[in-house]
C-alpha cells in the first residue's frame, strides 16, 4: 500500500531541502551581532590576575638596570608632565589612556623584551598589565610599588636600626650603592678635594744669642 | 571548545586513527552513491548527470553553514582552523591539468582510488597514470619550482580577499547554489538521456 500523501510530499523533497538551506543561510545573516571575546579565556585571565608572579621588586629592577640587562623595556604609564620631571633611566612614556595606540603595540606585543610597567603606585601598572595580559601579550611585569617605592627603597633607602639583623645592613649597603649609581650623593661618601692647607711652616725663630756682654768696666 | 585536536581535547596521537576512520566512511559513501563510476562522474561535463556538482557544492555549503553556526555559538574557533595556502598560478595551472584529466579519464583522484578498491580496470590504469605524473613532476621539480612556490598569497580565503561579511557571503553563495542546481536540472532534462 503506497501512502499517497507521503509520495506527494516526497516529490517536493528537493524544493524543501533547498528552502531549508536558504533559511539556514539567511539565519546567519539575521543573527544578532555580538562582540566576540578577544584574547585569552576569562578563567585563564582570572588565575593570571590572582598570581603574584607579575611583580618585580625595585631591588630586582635596580639590579637589572645596573647590570645593563638588554632585554629590559621600561614603560612609564604616567602622564607626560610627570614623566618629564622624573622617570627611570631609558623608560618609554606611554600614558595609560594611550596604551593601545597604533605605535605602542610594537612595544607591547613581542616576546624579545621583558616589559616592565610602572606608574606612581602599582595600580595603573596593574590595570595596564591586565589589559595586555587579556590580549595574550607575553613577558609583562609590574614594578611593585611603582615610583613611590622606588624612591623609598632605592633612591632614599632607610637606614637600618642598630638592633636589626645583618641582612638589613647588607641590603642597605646594596641599596645605597645602587642609589649612588642613580646619582644620589651621600655626605659620607663625598670625596671633596679640599685644597690642602699648606702647613704653616713654623717660623724659624732665630734666637740670636746675646753675646754676653763683657763686663764693662764700670767707671 | 573546538577544534578538538589543536585544543588537546582529543590527544594529537589520535589524529591518524581518526583520519583513517573518516577516510573509510568517505570512501564507503562515495562508492555507495555511485561515484566510483567514471560515466557518472564524466556526466557533469556532458550534461546528462550533475550528481557530482550537486554533491560537492552541497557538502561545501553544509560544512560552511554548520561551521559558521558553531563558531557563532562558541563550539568551534574558526580563526584556528587550517586554511590552505594560496599559490595562485600553481593552483590555476594544476586545476586546469586536473580538469583535463577529469574529463579524459572520468575520475578525480579520490574517486579513482575508490574505484580501484572495487576492482575497476579503467581506474587502475588511471591511478598508474597519476603515479607517472607524480614521477615526472618530481623529476622536473627544479623546472616547476618557481611556479610551484611562487605567487604566494598566504592563507587567504574568499571572505578575506573580497572584504565581505562572511554571513552575507554564505547567504549569497547559497542562493547562487540553489539557482545553479535549478539551471543544471533544466540542462539535464534537455540533454539526450544516456543510460549507464
DSSP string, B28-63: HHHHHTTTT-HHHHHHHHHTS--HHHHHHHHHHHHH
pLDDT at position A218 is 52
Q: Which of B61, B72, B168 sits opposite A21 (nearest CB)?
A: B61
Q: Which of B58, B72, B174 sits opposite A25 (nearest CB)?
A: B174
ipTM for this model: 0.77
Mind listing the pLDDT tens digit for each residue in A13-22?
A: 888 989 999 9
Contact flag B167-A21 (C-beta cutoff 8 Å): no
Phi, psi of B124 (to 5 degrees): -65, -45
Tell me the C-alpha distance between B155 and B157, whole Å: 7
What are the cell numbers at B66? 554548520
Query: Are B24 and B121 found together in one domain?
Result: no
pTM of the model: 0.62
Q: pLDDT band for A192, please (50, 70, 90 cuts).
A: low
Query: Are B38 and B5 found together in one domain?
Result: yes
Residue whose entry in the numeric block shows the C-alpha cell 612595544 = A107
pLDDT at position A208 is 67
Inform me whether the C-beta atom of residue B69 falls under 8 Å from chain A C-beta atoms. yes
Averaged pLDDT of chain A: 84
Mind listing the pLDDT tens digit for each residue in B122-166?
A: 999 999 999 999 999 999 999 999 888 888 888 888 888 888 888
Average pLDDT over residues A163-191: 85
What are the cell numbers at B51? 550528481
Q: What percent of chain A has pLDDT over 70?
A: 90
Query: Are B103 and B152 found together in one domain?
Result: yes
- Nearest alpha-carbon partner for A62 in A167, A183, A168, A166: A183
- CATH topology (fold) of A42-153: Oxidized Rhodanese; domain 1 (3.40.250)
Instruction: Decide: helix, strand or coil at residue B71.
Output: helix
Instruction: Decide: helix, strand or coil at residue A94.
Output: coil
Question: Which one of B175, B185, B188 makes the best mutation probe of the A interface by having the most chain A beta carbons within 10 Å?
Answer: B175
Contact flag A29-B175 (C-beta cutoff 8 Å): no
Mind listing the pLDDT tens digit for each residue in A25-40?
A: 999 888 888 777 677 8
What are the cell numbers at B104? 579524459
Q: pLDDT band for B17, please (50, 70, 90 cuts).
A: very high
Q: How far is CA B109 from CA A22, B38, B99, B147, in A?
A: 31, 12, 11, 22
- In chain B, residues with a C-beta closer than 8 Å to the C-beta of A22 are 171, 174-175, 178
Averaged pLDDT of chain B: 89
pLDDT at position A212 is 56
pLDDT at position A142 is 92
Inform me whether the C-beta atom of residue B173 falls under 8 Å from chain A C-beta atoms. yes
Mind listing the pLDDT tens digit for each residue in A117-151?
A: 999 888 888 988 998 888 888 888 999 999 999 98
pLDDT at position B66 is 92
Show Cβ contacts of residue A4 under 8 Å, excluding neighbours closer than 6 positions.
none
Instruction: Decide: helix, strand or coil at residue A182.
Output: coil
Break chain A into its structural domains and give their ranges.
42-153
Query: Are B3 and B48 found together in one domain?
Result: yes
- Nearest alpha-carbon partner for A179 in A213, A156, A163: A156
Inform me whether the C-beta atom of residue A31 falls under 8 Å from chain B C-beta atoms. yes
pLDDT at position A24 is 92
pLDDT at position B21 is 96
pLDDT at A95 over 80: yes
Query: Are B101 and B129 found together in one domain?
Result: yes
- Nearest alpha-carbon partner for A79 in A63, A90, A68, A95: A95
Q: What percent of chain A has pLDDT over 90?
A: 10
Q: pLDDT band for B80, please (50, 70, 90 cuts).
A: confident
pLDDT at position A104 is 80
Query: Are B77 and B8 found together in one domain?
Result: yes
In this structure, are residues B78 and B159 in contact, taking their beta carbons and an 8 Å threshold? no
Inform me whether the C-beta atom of residue B75 falls under 8 Å from chain A C-beta atoms. no
Q: pLDDT band for B178, please (50, 70, 90 cuts).
A: very high
Q: pLDDT band for B172, please (50, 70, 90 cuts).
A: very high
Whether the link from the prior residue into A90 is cis, omega within 30° of 0, is no
Mind listing the pLDDT tens digit for each residue in A102-122?
A: 778 788 888 888 889 999 888
| DSSP 8-state class, residue A203 | P
pLDDT at B104 over 80: yes
The helix (H) or strand (E) run that includes residue A175 is: helix A166-181
pLDDT at B107 over 80: yes
Give the structural domain span for B129.
84-156
pLDDT at A214 over 60: no
pLDDT at position A188 is 77
Q: pLDDT band for B182, please (50, 70, 90 cuts).
A: very high
Query: Are B1 and B77 found together in one domain?
Result: yes
Show Cβ contacts of residue A74 under 8 Å, excluding neighbours closer than 6 positions.
A88, A89, A90, A91, A92, A116, A118
Tell me the C-alpha distance between A33 and A51, whole Å: 34
Average pLDDT over residues A178-186: 85
Q: How many domains does chain B have?
A: 2
pLDDT at A165 over 60: yes
Query: Are B51 and B120 found together in one domain?
Result: no
Q: What percent of chain B has pLDDT over 70?
A: 99
Instruction: Look at A95-104, A156-165, A173-182 and tell me which has the smallest mean pLDDT.
Output: A95-104
Residue B167 burial (10 A CB sphere; 0-12, 13-18, 19+) = buried
Amino acid at each position: 500500500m503506497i501512502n499517497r500523501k507521503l509520495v506527494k510530499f516526497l516529490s517536493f523533497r528537493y524544493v524543501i531541502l533547498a528552502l531549508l538551506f536558504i533559511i539556514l543561510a539567511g539565519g546567519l545573516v539575521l543573527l544578532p551581532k555580538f562582540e566576540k571575546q578577544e584574547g585569552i579565556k576569562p578563567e585563564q585571565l582570572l588565575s593570571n590576575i590572582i598570581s603574584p608572579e607579575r611583580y618585580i621588586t625595585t631591588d630586582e629592577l635596580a639590579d637589572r638596570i645596573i647590570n645593563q640587562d638588554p632585554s629590559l623595556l621600561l614603560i612609564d604609564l604616567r602622564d607626560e608632565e610627570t614623566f618629564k620631571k622624573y622617570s627611570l633611566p631609558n623608560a618609554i612614556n606611554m600614558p595609560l589612556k594611550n596604551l593601545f595606540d597604533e605605535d605602542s603595540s610594537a612595544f607591547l606585543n613581542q616576546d624579545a623584551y621583558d616589559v616592565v610597567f610602572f606608574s606612581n603606585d602599582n595600580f595603573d601598572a596593574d590595570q595596564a598589565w591586565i589589559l595586555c595580559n587579556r590580549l595574550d601579550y607575553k613577558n609583562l611585569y609590574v614594578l611593585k610599588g611603582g615610583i613611590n617605592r622606588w624612591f623609598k627603597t632605592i633612591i632614599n633607602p632607610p637606614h637600618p636600626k642598630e638592633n636589626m639583623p645583618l641582612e638589613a645592613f647588607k641590603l642597605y649597603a646594596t641599596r645605597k650603592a645602587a642609589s649612588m649609581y642613580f646619582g644620589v650623593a651621600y655626605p659620607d661618601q663625598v670625596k671633596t678635594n679640599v685644597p690642602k692647607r699648606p702647613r704653616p711652616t713654623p717660623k724659624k725663630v732665630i734666637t740670636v744669642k746675646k753675646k754676653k756682654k763683657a763686663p764693662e768696666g764700670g767707671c | 571548545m573546538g577544534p578538538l585536536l589543536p585544543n588537546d581535547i582529543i590527544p594529537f596521537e589520535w589524529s591518524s586513527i581518526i583520519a583513517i576512520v573518516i577516510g573509510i566512511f568517505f570512501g564507503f559513501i562515495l562508492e555507495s552513491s555511485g561515484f566510483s563510476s567514471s560515466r557518472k562522474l564524466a556526466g557533469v561535463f556532458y550534461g546528462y548527470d550533475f550528481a557530482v556538482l550537486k554533491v560537492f557544492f552541497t557538502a561545501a555549503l553544509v560544512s560552511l553553514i554548520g561551521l559558521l553556526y558553531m563558531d557563532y555559538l562558541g563550539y568551534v574557533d574558526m580563526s584556528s582552523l587550517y586554511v590552505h595556502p594560496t599559490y595562485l598560478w600553481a593552483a590555476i595551472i594544476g586545476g586546469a591539468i586536473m580538469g583535463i584529466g577529469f574529463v579524459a579519464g572520468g575520475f578525480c583522484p579520490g574517486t579513482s582510488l575508490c574505484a580501484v578498491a572495487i576492482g575497476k580496470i579503467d581506474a587502475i590504469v588511471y591511478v598508474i597514470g597519476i603515479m607517472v605524473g607524480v614521477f615526472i613532476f618530481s623529476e622536473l621539480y627544479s623546472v616547476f619550482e618557481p611556479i610551484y612556490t611562487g605567487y604566494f598569497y598566504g592563507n587567504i580565503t574568499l571572505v578575506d580577499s573580497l572584504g565581505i561579511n562572511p554571513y552575507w557571503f554564505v547567504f549569497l553563495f547559497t542562493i547562487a547554489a540553489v539557482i545553479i542546481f535549478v539551471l543544471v536540472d533544466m540542462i539535464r532534462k534537455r540533454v539526450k538521456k544516456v543510460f549507464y
